[in-house]
């Protein structure tokens, strides 16, 4: 029985450690490029934003913290877009109509992209919602945030300002 318990504890720790490493494994790496259809109907490619500080926010309509965070992200976007900050909201719902309904309801103005096949979220090792990735002007992932709690936007603001000054 003790052997089994130790095995389970070890296995749990290994899974947790692997998840933690995977989630931060992108930091310091060149951001994986992708192209997705946007809410405007155009395909948008991440590499086209090189030279800007880019936030990629993975979200879903069923995610309560995403709903709470999106208007705050939109404020950051509105405030810093003119000085070289871009925000791409990547929705992972199967039905883009649900996403568009939520975007309309919340009055979000940043570009929303649709990853219904979850290919981009796999590329970015997204395992829970929301995940927010900050990419510097050179295209390197600098920060990865998992989840959202009130106050995270202050951290985002500090990081965005710091990256814009570089």
For residue 108, being part of any structural domain is answered with yes
User: For position 14, what pLDDT does the model report?
Assistant: 32
Q: Write out the two tokens for 64.
A: 């309560």
Pairing of strands 131-135, 112-114: unpaired
Q: Is residue 34 part of a domain?
A: yes
Instruction: Check: CB of residue 87 under 8 Å from CB of residue 77.
Output: yes
* Enclosing domain of residue 155: 27-165
Residue 2 lies in a domain: no
Please report whether residue 13 resides in a domain: no
| DSSP-derived secondary structure letter, 86 | E
Q: What confidence score (pLDDT) does residue 24 get? A: 58
Helix axes 152-165 and 64-80, enclosed angle (nearest 10): 30
Number of domains in the chain: 1
What's the CATH code of the domain at 130?
A: 3.40.30.10
Determine, yes or no, domain membership for 95: yes
Please spell the DSSP secondary structure of 27-85, one letter per residue.
TTSBPPP-EEEBTTS-EEEGGGGTTSEEEEEEE-TT-HHHHHHHHHHHHHHHHHGGGTE
Does any domain span residue 20? no
**Residue 46: its pLDDT value, please?**
97
16 within a domain of the structure (yes/no): no
Q: Which residues of the chain have pLDDT under 50?
A: 1-23
Confidence (pLDDT) at 32: 96
- What's the confidence (pLDDT) of residue 108? 94
User: Is residue 4 a part of any domain in this protein?
Assistant: no
- Cis check: omega of the bond before 47, within 30 degrees of 0: no
What share of the chain has pLDDT > 70, as a percent? 86
Residue 80: the pLDDT is 97
């Amino acid at each position: 029985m003790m052997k089994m318990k130790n095995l389970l504890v070890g296995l749990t720790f290994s899974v947790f450690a692997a998840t933690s490493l995977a989630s931060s494994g992108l930091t310091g790496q060149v951001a994986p490029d992708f192209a997705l259809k946007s809410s405007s109907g155009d395909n948008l490619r991440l590499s086209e934003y090189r030279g800007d500080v880019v936030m990629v926010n993975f979200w879903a309509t069923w995610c309560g913290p995403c709903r709470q965070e999106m208007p705050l992200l939109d404020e950051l976007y509105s405030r810093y877009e003119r000085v070289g900050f871009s925000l791409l909201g990547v929705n992972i719902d199967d039905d883009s109509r649900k996403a568009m309904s939520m975007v309309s309801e919340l009055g979000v103005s940043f570009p929303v992209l649709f990853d219904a096949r979850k290919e981009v979220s796999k590329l970015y090792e997204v395992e829970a919602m929301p995940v927010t990735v900050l990419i510097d002007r050179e295209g390197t992932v600098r920060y990865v945030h998992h989840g959202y709690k009130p106050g995270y936007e202050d951290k985002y603001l500090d990081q965005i300002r710091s990256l814009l000054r570089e």
